[in-house]
Structure 1
Amino acid sequence: MSKIKIDTAYSVLELASVAAGSTPGAALKNSLELARKAEEFGYTRFWLAEHHNMISIASSATSVMISYIASGTEKIKVGSGGIMLPNHSPLIVAEQFGTLGSLFPGRIDMGLGRAPGTDQVTAHAIRSDRMQSVYKFPEEVSQIQQYFSPDNRGAQVRATVAEGVEVPVYILGSSTDSAHLAAEKGLPYAFASHFAPAQLFEALTIYYNNFQPSEYLQEPYTIACINVIAADTDQEAERISTSMIRMMLGVMTGQMDYMQPPVDMTPELRELSENPAFQRMLKYVFVGSKETVKKKTEAFLQETGVNEVMVVSHVYDHEDRVKSYRVFSEIMQEIKGEEA
C-alpha cells in the first residue's frame, strides 16, 4: 500500500452534462461557473472531455470550450481530457493548442487519447480513415511534439503559432497500451478509472516500471479519475446519485437521454447499481457524506499512490454539483493536512 503524497493535487474532468429541460448552451455556461468555483476551491486543473453524438453531453468542441473556460478564469489550468487524436489532424491540433498556449501562457494542458469518444458509426462520420490513425497514435503524438519544437522552424510543414510555446502533453489511457507509450516517451499519464477501472493497477505498474526520464518530465507523474457525489448526508447523496445511475444505464444499453432529475432510491435502481457489470464499470464511484467520501478517497489514494486525483461528478442540479466539488475540495485539504 502506497503512502498518500502530501502534494497530491485534485482536479476536475468536465463533460458539460445536459439536464432534462435544459439546453447545451445552459450546460456550457454551468461549466464556466463550475470552473470559477473550482478555481476558488483550490483545484489544480479543469479538463474538458471530447464526446460526440451524445444527447446528454455538450463537451464536443473541446478546443473551443478550453478557450471559453480559460477566458473566464484567472489561474486554474485548463486542458483536454482529452483530445481524441484519431479524430483529428495532428497539424490542426498543434495549431489550435499553440494558439491557446499563446493566449493563455502557462495555463493550457493537452491530454491526448486514442479512443473515439463516441460510437463506431459516428467515429466513421468524423473521420473515415480514423483506424489508420489509431495505429499511428504514437507517431502522431511525436508529430505534435515536433510541431511545438523550435527546431521545426526549418521544416516544410510548420505550425508556426505553436513553435516554442509551452503546452505540456499528457497521455490518456483506459487500458495498458497507453501506459507503455507514456513511460517510453517520459510523459505524464492519466488513467480513466472513472469508467474503466479494471486495468488501473496494471497500467500504473507498467508506467512506473518502464518510465524513461525526458526533457518534459524527470519522474513519473500519474493522474487517476474517480466519480464523486458528496452531500450533507449519505441518504441525500444516494438520492442525487440516481441521476448518474440512470444515465449510465443509458450508456450501457445505447439509449442515451438527457440527465434526469434524481428520485428516491428504488429497489430496481439499487439492484442495477449492484449489478456486476455496473460495478465493473463504476468501481470508483464515491457517493455519500463528507465523512464517507473522505474514507473512500483516502483508501483510493493509499492504494494507488497517484500524484493527482481527477473528479467527475454527474449531478442533475447545478448547485448540488458545485456543492459536491466544494465538499471534495475540503476533503482533499483535510487529507493533505493530515499527511503533512
Structure 2
Amino acid sequence: MKKGKVPYSILELASVPAGSSTGDVFKNSLLLAQNAEKWGYTRFWLAEHHNMISIASSATPVLIGHIAGGTKSIRVGSGGVMLPNHAPLIVAEQFGTLGSLFPHRIDLGLGRAPGTDQETAYAIRRERMHAAYRFPEEVGEIQHYFADDNADEKVRAYVAEGVDVPLYILGSSTDSAHLAARKGLPYAFASHFAPTHLFEALNVYYNEFQPSAALQEPYTIACVNVVAADTDEQAELLASSLVRMVLGILTNNRDQLRPPAPLEPQIRAFMDEPAFQRFLHYAFVGSKETVKEKTSDFLQKTGVNEIMVASHMYSSQDRLKSYELFAELMGEM
C-alpha cells in the first residue's frame, strides 16, 4: 500500500428503494453527502444513468449543484458525464457555471459509455455512435473550452474559461486508460461492476502516462461496493437488496431496490454463476473488521491512490451507518 492515508470517496447512483419518491432519494443523497463531509470523505461523485427504474442519477449537473449547494467543503463531481450523450460545449458551460458557483470543489469525470441501453442512447443524441468514436477529440474540446487563452476563437464557453474544474477519465476497460495516460489526466476505474480488466488497465495507464499541465504523476481511483454493518450476518442480510438488484440487471428484469430479506435457494444458486461473480467481485460485505481486511487487501494489490465506494442499500439509515463504518476503518488504516 502507498505510504500515508489513502483518500476515500463516494460514488452515488441515487438508488431508488421501493416505495420511495424521487424527491426522497435526492434528500437522502444530500444527507449522505453532508455526513460524508463530516466523516472525512474526499469527494462525492454522481453517476449518469437513463431509463432505469432503480437509479435516479440522470440529470447529473443538476444533482451536483444540489449536493454542492448543501455542503461546504467536500468535492462534488460527475462519475461521470457520459460524454457521447452531450455536446462538449454544453458540458463546458454547465461545469464552468458549477465551478464558478462552488470554486475549487467541482470535478468533471468523463466516460464514453451511454449509461443506458442503445434505444435510449439514440433518443438522447441521434449521432451518439459517431460521438462515441470521437471521445478523445471531444475530451480535447472540453479542455480547450476551459483554457484561458481562447480570445481568438469563434466559439467560446465564456463561463468556463480559466475556471478550476479538473478533468478525470473514467473507464471499465483498457481503452480509456490509454487516453487518460496520453492526456496526462487522472484515471478512475469502474471495478464496482466491471472488474475484469482492472489490473490490465492500471498497468496501461502507469506505463503510458505522460505528464501534463494538469498532472505531473499518475493518479488512480478504483471503485468498490461496500455493505458494512455491526456484524457479518447483519451485513449479508442488508446486501440481499444489492444481490437482487444485480440479478435484475443481469436478467434484464430491473426493479427498484427491494427491502433486505433472506435469499431464496434459486437466487443463491444464481450467485455461483460466472457473470454474477464477475459483477460483484469487489463487493466488500461484512462487519467493520471484515470490510477493513478486504479493503486493505484491495489497496495493497492495486496500489491505487484513492478508493471510491458505491453502496446500494434499501434503508437510508443502514446506508449511513455503512459509510460511517467505512470512514472509521479508513481512518484506522
TM-score interval w.r.t. the shorter chain?
Answer: over 0.9
- Which residue of 2 is the match for residue 304 of structure 1? 302
Amino acid at match of 1:53: N
Q: 1:28: Cα distance to partner? A: 0.7
CA deviation map 1:218-273 (0-9, x unaligned): 00000000000000111000000010011111111111111000002333332222
- Which residue of 2 is the match for residue 131 of structure 1? 129
- Which residue of 1 is the match for residue 61 of structure 2? 63
TM-score by length of 2: 0.99
Q: Structure 2: how far apart are the matches of 1:275 and 1:317?
A: 28
From 260, 276, 279, the counterpart of 2:258: 260
Q: Structure 2: how far apart are the matches of 1:316 and 1:4?
A: 34
SS state of the match for residue 224, structure 2? strand
SS state of the match for residue 157, structure 1? coil
RMSD between aligned alpha carbons? 0.8
Q: 1:84: Cα distance to partner? A: 0.1
- Which residue of 2 is the match for residue 21 of structure 1? 19
From 208, 211, 231, the counterpart of 1:210: 208
- Which residue of 2 is the match for residue 327 of structure 1? 325
Contact 1:7 1:307 in 2 (8 A): no
Establish whether residue 229 from structure 1 lines up as the match of residue 233 from structure 2. Answer: no
- Which residue of 2 is the match for residue 50 of structure 1? 48
Q: Structure 2: how far apart are the matches of 1:313 and 1:219?
A: 30
- Which residue of 1 is the match for residue 98 of structure 2? 100
Contact 1:153 1:163 in 2 (8 A): no
TM-score by length of 1: 0.97
Q: 1:275: Cα distance to partner? A: 2.0
- Which residue of 2 is the match for residue 72 of structure 1? 70
Q: 1:306: Cα distance to partner? A: 0.3
Q: Structure 1: how far apart are the matches of 2:294 and 2:152?
A: 52
SS state of the match for residue 52, structure 2? coil
CA deviation map 1:29-50 (0-9, x unaligned): 1000000010011000000000
CA deviation map 1:260-318 (0-9, x unaligned): 00002333332222322100111000000111111100000000000000000010000
From 266, 269, 272, the counterpart of 2:270: 272
SS state of the match for residue 153, structure 1? coil
Q: 1:7: Cα distance to partner? A: 2.9
- Which residue of 2 is the match for residue 338 of structure 1? none
Q: Structure 1: how far apart are the matches of 2:114 and 2:171?
A: 12
Establish whether residue 117 from structure 1 lines up as the match of residue 107 from structure 2. Answer: no
CA deviation map 1:9-63 (0-9, x unaligned): 1000001111101111110110000000100110000000000000011100000
Q: Structure 1: how far apart are the matches of 2:24 and 2:54?
A: 12
SS state of the match for residue 151, structure 2? helix
Q: Structure 2: how far apart are the matches of 1:154 and 1:288?
A: 57
CA deviation map 1:131-166 (0-9, x unaligned): 111000000000000000011122000000000101
Q: Structure 1: how far apart are the matches of 2:119 and 2:71?
A: 36
From 181, 185, 188, the counterpart of 2:186: 188
Q: 1:179: Cα distance to partner? A: 0.2
Residue-pair matches, total? 333
Q: Which runs of 5+ in 2 are unaligned?
A: none
- Which residue of 2 is the match for residue 157 of structure 1? 155
- Which residue of 2 is the match for residue 88 of structure 1? 86
Q: Which runs of 5+ in 1 are unaligned?
A: 336-340
Amino acid at match of 2:315: D
Q: 1:8: Cα distance to partner? A: 1.1
